[in-house]
């Protein structure tokens, strides 16, 4: 593995102490406001398959990953008491059927009081005696995993932790810069495979090879969509045969470093200049939206402004006619752009807290008519968000326009001509700054 992505990365080592101090401060505040003295944060367990002796791939809990880069350590706990060094109950089962976690290693270890246990039952010995003073954060599949703590995931505590998680520490941002760099290596390999005429499955393999991650280690299932498959927003089928004719490619694929994700989308035309022209228009639109990102901007407004920009592109590309206002009101823009502009990014691809108004649990609804918008907050410095506008040719949505005032606004012949290309999405990950943003994705592409 590239040392930069490992727990030997000295840059991450330099930033980690300050990150952990921020995590501790957030827990200090959350515990105090919840009337608790200790937090027990669980890494999670692999889910069993029904009536089978198999398990689904393990995913570490996002709240656990904020403590330490331990994405492959099931049945382990961080026990935190304000003012004390966090205890890490590190589960290292004995056995020969499965690989067991190695000895704890890396820049993060010196910040923890690490207790190795070989049996889940022994984890209990490392918890404060009075379980009533503890809150437990994590998913519990078996009661024994809660170690006798009864206050499991209190919403007060979760709200107090999830709201500030929207703002990332320098360490988290560096992890996401690295995840962007890693993802871009995959994107470049995938683009080469597309230009060689490969199938979706082969492009996917080229991607995984370049990022050196297995399917289960990717932050989300790769979307590798050729031709009309790009119109399925979360297409993950991976056809084994290359289509003929070979027209277009939408790739939405990320990578992770220490549990932090990148989430990147690009769209390419194989050899059609008309579709290429539409991609260029969307590229300009996407960059215009990115240029508007800064602290203090209401993300809901950015989303609605993007609909006006989409209306302009639809008119310029002769896909629709009318004022941008009428194209919004009549549902034309949301037919072609039916998802949100983006979301928070972190240890979850769709990081928690996107609708939170404050740490008390009040929420901000998406604007009416835009139910899929995952981020409704005002942007703050050091939030990391995606900007991912798109245009798609989706029969199910287009059909709904028939018989409405919108029907006359759509150029159905143009739609029919472009439908075989599926759609376009361009997605960057950006870190919000006071006066603009840092584009993690484009920086990674330009240094690749």
Binding footprint of ligand GLY on the chain (CB under 6 A): 220, 252, 263, 349, 388, 427
Complex with Mn ion: residue 89 or 223, whichever CB lies closer:
223
CA 251 to chain centre: 15
Q: Give me the 375-414 binding string for Mn ion, x by CB under 5 A, dash otherwise.
A: -----------x----------------------------
Residue with tokens 């984890």: 123
Q: Which does 228 bind (CB under 5 to 8 A by kind): Mn ion, ligand GLY, none?
A: none
Number of Cβ atoms within 10 Å of the Cβ of 174: 22
Answer left, alpha or beta for residue 215, where phi above 0 means left and psi between -120 and 50 means alpha: alpha
| 222 counts as binding Mn ion under rule CB under 5 A | no
Parallel/antiparallel/unpaired status of strands 428-433 and 256-257: unpaired
Instruction: Measure the CA–CA gap between 111 and 23, rounded to whole angstroms.
Output: 12
Taking CB under 5 A as the criterion, the residue among 252, 359, 428, 429 binding Mn ion is 252
Nearest Cα residue to 249 out of 204, 314, 211: 204
Nearest Cα residue to 30 out of 63, 60, 61, 62: 63
Complex with Mn ion: residue 252 or 443, whichever CB lies closer:
252
Are 295 and 434 in contact by the 8 Å Cβ rule? The answer is yes
Least distance (Å) between residue 146 CB and ligand GLY: 32
Q: CB-based burial of residue 99 (10 Å sphere; 0-12 exposed, 13-18 middle, 19+ buried)? A: exposed
- Stretch near Mn ion under the rule CB under 5 A, chosen from 56-64, 138-146, 281-289, 423-431: 423-431
Complex with Mn ion: residue 34 or 347, whichever CB lies closer:
347
Least distance (Å) between residue 291 CB and Mn ion: 19
C-alpha pair distances (Å), 191 with each of 155, 197, 227, 427 = 44, 10, 14, 15
Q: Distance between the two ends of the chain, CA-based, in angstroms?
A: 17
Q: Which does 220 bind (CB under 5 to 8 A by kind): Mn ion, ligand GLY, none?
A: ligand GLY
Least distance (Å) between residue 250 CB and Mn ion: 10
Least distance (Å) between residue 302 CB and ligand GLY: 16
- Stretch near Mn ion under the rule CB under 5 A, chosen from 20-28, 123-131, 161-169, 250-258: 250-258
Complex with ligand GLY: residue 58 or 220, whichever CB lies closer:
220
| 428 counts as binding Mn ion under rule CB under 5 A | no
Complex with Mn ion: residue 322 or 340, whichever CB lies closer:
340
Least distance (Å) between residue 38 CB and ligand GLY: 35
Nearest Cα residue to 389 out of 293, 294, 285: 285
Complex with ligand GLY: residue 322 or 354, whichever CB lies closer:
354
Number of Cβ atoms within 10 Å of the Cβ of 119: 11
Instruction: Measure the CA–CA gap between 307 and 90, rounded to whole angstroms.
Output: 49
Least distance (Å) between residue 234 CB and Mn ion: 9
Two tokens, residue 269: 């035309």
Question: Which positions from 254 through 313 interact with Mn ion, judged by CB under 5 A?
Answer: 263, 265
Complex with Mn ion: residue 19 or 165, whichever CB lies closer:
165
**Which residue's Cβ has the minimum distance to ligand GLY?**
252
Mapped onto helix, strand or coil, the DSSP state of residue 236 is coil
Nearest Cα residue to 72 out of 345, 259, 352: 259
Least distance (Å) between residue 174 CB and ligand GLY: 22
Complex with ligand GLY: residue 138 or 422, whichever CB lies closer:
422
Least distance (Å) between residue 234 CB and ligand GLY: 7
Report the interface residues with Mn ion, using CB under 5 A: 252, 263, 265, 386, 427
């Amino acid at each position: 593995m590239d040392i930069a992505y490992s727990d030997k990365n000295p840059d991450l080592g330099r930033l980690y102490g300050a990150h952990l101090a921020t995590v501790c401060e957030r827990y200090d505040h959350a515990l105090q406001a919840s009337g608790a003295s200790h937090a027990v944060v669980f890494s999670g367990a692999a889910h069993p398959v029904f009536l089978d002796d198999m398990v689904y791939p393990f995913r570490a809990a996002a709240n656990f990953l904020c403590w330490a880069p331990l994405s492959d350590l099931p049945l382990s706990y961080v026990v935190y008491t304000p003012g004390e060094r966090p205890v890490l109950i590190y589960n290292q089962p004995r056995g020969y059927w499965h690989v067991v976690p190695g000895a704890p290693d890396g820049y993060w270890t010196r910040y923890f009081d690490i207790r190795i246990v070989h049996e889940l039952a022994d984890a209990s010995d490392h918890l404060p005696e009075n379980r009533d003073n503890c809150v437990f954060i994590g998913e519990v599949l078996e009661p024994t995993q809660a170690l006798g703590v009864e206050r499991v995931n209190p919403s007060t505590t979760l709200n107090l932790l999830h709201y500030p998680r929207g703002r990332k520490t320098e360490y988290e941002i560096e992890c996401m810069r690295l995840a962007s760099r890693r993802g871009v290596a995959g994107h470049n390999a995938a683009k080469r495979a597309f230009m060689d005429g490969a199938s979706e499955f082969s492009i996917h393999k080229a991607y995984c090879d370049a990022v050196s991650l297995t399917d289960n280690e990717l932050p989300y299932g790769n979307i590798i969509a050729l031709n009309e498959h790009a119109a399925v927003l979360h297409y993950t089928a991976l056809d084994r045969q290359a289509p003929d004719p070979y027209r277009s490619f939408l790739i939405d694929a990320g990578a992770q470093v220490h549990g932090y994700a990148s989430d990147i989308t690009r769209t390419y035309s194989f050899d059609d200049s008309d579709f290429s022209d539409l991609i260029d228009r969307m590229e300009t639109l996407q960059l215009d939206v990115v240029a508007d990102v800064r602290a203090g901007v209401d993300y809901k407004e950015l989303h609605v402004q993007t609909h006006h920009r989409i209306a302009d592109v639809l008119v310029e590309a002769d896909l629709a006619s009318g004022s941008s206002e009428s194209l919004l009101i009549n549902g034309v823009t949301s037919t072609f752009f039916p998802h949100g502009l983006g979301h928070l990014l972190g240890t979850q691809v769709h990081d928690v807290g996107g609708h939170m108004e404050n740490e008390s649990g009040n929420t901000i609804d998406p604007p009416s008519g835009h139910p899929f918008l995952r981020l409704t907050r005002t942007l703050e410095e050091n939030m990391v968000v995606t900007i991912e506008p798109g245009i798609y040719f989706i029969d199910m949505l287009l059909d709904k326009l028939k018989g409405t005032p919108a029907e006359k606004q759509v150029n159905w012949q143009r739609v029919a001509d472009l439908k075989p290309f599926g759609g376009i999405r361009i997605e960057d990950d950006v870190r919000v700054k006071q006066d603009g943003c840092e584009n993690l994705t484009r920086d990674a592409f330009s240094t690749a």
